[in-house]
């Protein structure tokens, strides 16, 4: 336990989110002062409330994306009768397991892999808010790709590619999942959550050489390892993504969370987009354990500079940021919403 505690407070990758972002708050305030507006970034993606900083509807964003690259998806209004939900899931051709996620939320908040209709009914009853239900994609490679494009139509870039490695353990034939998790830092930091959510899994003993997947949701806070894939950025990748990005009305900056068969398929533009994050879509490659804290903050600064430049370009086109009073009301409602769900 002492080793875990020390690593959590001395290894940058495992810092609590609020602490790791202290310098990032400084970047925000610096560019806000230069813009004379606290939410200057909100005009970068005028099709999304606050530009996608927080509290936006995932469903509304997905409607902007071509259906050909989306998984099968169903929007479920809060408190929808479960009979209607199950019928909609069946009509959409979504089988089990499936993914349920609240329409509003970030960083894997309440995202869950659901194994049966009964489990889905129980989950939606516990959290009676708008939900999105998606097919569980079995494509083996999950990645993020962060892009930006200037409104003049002549400048397009990809500045972050992240490859995700899911949390797993390898069996030896006699150690329990709990014991195997205790032997690796990344997994051990997730033990308390597994004790709460999946205690039966911890007692299982994987066969020798068996790779046991522990977490199918690709969020860093759930133990997924993020690997720097920026070496993949070249003209071929730009050509694969630019046609997709230019078709997104009013979205100049965004991060795709996607799955694909392999890197060759990605470069051919053959992938499925699970989500599109807005202006607060982080350059996820910086969380690679080998990347280092100072390089990470350098890249965070570069991305805030891109947001600043995009905001100024929008101002020149007559697109203002959200008024402070309106932004504050939106933020306040979001935190009230999240507090209510966390209390359940």
Instruction: Print pLDDT tens along the chain (344 aa).
Output: 555 555 655 677 777 777 888 999 999 999 999 999 999 999 999 999 999 998 889 999 999 999 999 999 999 998 889 999 999 999 999 999 999 999 887 777 778 899 999 999 999 898 888 899 999 999 999 999 999 999 987 799 999 999 999 999 999 999 999 999 998 888 888 999 899 888 899 999 999 999 999 888 878 888 899 999 999 999 999 999 999 999 999 999 999 999 999 999 999 999 999 999 999 999 999 999 999 889 999 999 999 999 999 999 999 999 999 999 999 999 999 888 888 877 76
Same domain, 266 and 296: yes
Is the separation of the CB atoms in 106 and 67 below 8 Å? no
Task: Evaluate whether residue 321 is within a structural domain.
Answer: no
Helices (H) and strands (E) in the chain, counts: 14, 11
Residue 324 lies in a domain: no
Q: Do you know the residue count of the chain?
A: 344
Tokens of 238: 């730009």
In CATH, what number is assigned to the domain containing residue 123? 3.30.1490.20
pLDDT of residue 6: 59
Same domain, 245 and 145: yes
Domain coverage including residue 189: 168-214
Q: Which helix (H) or strand (E) holds 254?
A: strand 253-260
pLDDT at 107: 73
Is residue 234, in this structure, part of any structural domain at all?
yes
Whether residue 146 is contained in a domain is answered as: yes
146 vs 139: CA distance, rounded Å: 20
* Same structural domain, 145 and 194: no
Indicate the number of domains in the chain: 3
**Cβ-based burial of 293 (10 A; exposed 0-12, middle 13-18, buried ≥19):** middle
Last residue of a domain, one of 181, 214, 247: 214
What's the alpha-carbon Rg for the chain, to the nearest Å?
21
Has residue 331 been placed in a domain? no
Cα 155–Cα 280–Cα 293 angle in degrees, nearest 5 = 95
Same domain? For 95 and 114 the reply is yes
Q: Quote the DSSP letter at residue 322.
A: P
* DSSP string for residues in 288-306: -TTT-HHHHHHHHHHHHHH
Per-residue confidence (pLDDT) for residue 54, from 0 to 100: 87
Beta-sheet pairing, 225-228 with 156-165: antiparallel
Q: What is residue 334's predicted lDDT score, i.e. its pLDDT?
A: 87
Q: Do 239 and 151 fall into the same domain?
A: yes
Same domain, 123 and 148: no
- Does one domain contain both 118 and 20? no
Same domain, 32 and 103: no
Do 244 and 210 share a structural domain? no
pLDDT at 185: 85
Task: Tell me how far apart the alpha carbons of residues 144 and 262 are, in angstroms, rounded to a whole number.
Answer: 13
Taking CB atoms within 8 Å and a gap of at least 24, the contacts of 324-327 are 324/37, 324/38, 324/39, 327/38, 327/39, 327/42, 327/50
pLDDT at 129: 87
Distance (Å, rounded) from C-alpha 160 to C-alpha 300?
11
**Are residues 53 and 180 located together in one domain of the fold?**
no
Task: Establish if 326 belongs to a structural domain.
Answer: no
Does residue 330 belong to any structural domain of this protein? no
* Co-location of 48 and 90 in the same domain: no
Could you tell me if 272 and 288 lie in one domain? Answer: yes
147 within a domain of the structure (yes/no): yes
């Amino acid at each position: 336990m002492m080793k875990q505690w020390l690593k959590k407070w001395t290894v940058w990758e495992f810092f609590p989110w609020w602490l790791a972002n202290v310098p990032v708050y400084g970047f925000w305030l610096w560019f806000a002062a230069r813009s004379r507006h606290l939410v200057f970034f909100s005009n970068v993606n005028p099709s999304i409330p606050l530009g996608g900083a927080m509290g936006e509807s995932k469903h509304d964003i997905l409607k902007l994306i071509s259906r050909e690259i989306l998984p099968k998806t169903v929007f479920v209004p809060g408190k929808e009768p479960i009979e209607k939900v199950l019928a909609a899931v069946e009509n959409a051709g979504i089988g089990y397991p499936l993914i349920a996620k609240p329409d509003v939320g970030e960083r894997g908040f309440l995202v869950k892999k659901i194994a049966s209709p009964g489990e889905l009914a129980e989950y939606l009853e516990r959290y009676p808010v708008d939900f999105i239900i998606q097919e569980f994609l079995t494509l083996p490679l999950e990645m993020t790709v962060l892009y930006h494009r200037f409104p003049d139509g002549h400048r397009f870039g990809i500045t972050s590619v992240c490859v995700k490695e899911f949390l797993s353990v390898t069996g030896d034939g006699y150690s329990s999942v709990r014991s195997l998790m205790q032997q690796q830092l990344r997994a051990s930091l997730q033990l308390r959550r597994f004790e709460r959510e999946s205690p039966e899994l911890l007692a299982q003993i994987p066969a020798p050489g068996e790779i046991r997947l522990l977490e199918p949701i690709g969020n860093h806070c759930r133990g997924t390892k993020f690997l720097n894939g920026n070496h993949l950025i070249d003209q071929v990748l730009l050509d694969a993504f630019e046609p997709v990005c230019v078709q997104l009305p009013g979205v100049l900056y965004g991060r795709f969370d996607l799955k694909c068969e392999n890197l060759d398929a990605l470069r051919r533009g053959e992938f499925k987009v699970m989500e599109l994050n807005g202006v607060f879509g982080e350059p996820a490659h910086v969380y690679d354990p080998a990347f280092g804290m100072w390089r990470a903050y350098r890249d965070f600064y570069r991305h805030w500079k891109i947001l600043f430049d995009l905001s100024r370009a929008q101002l020149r086109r007559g697109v203002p940021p959200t008024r402070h009073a309106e932004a504050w009301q939106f933020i306040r409602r979001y935190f009230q919403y999240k507090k209510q769900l966390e209390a359940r």
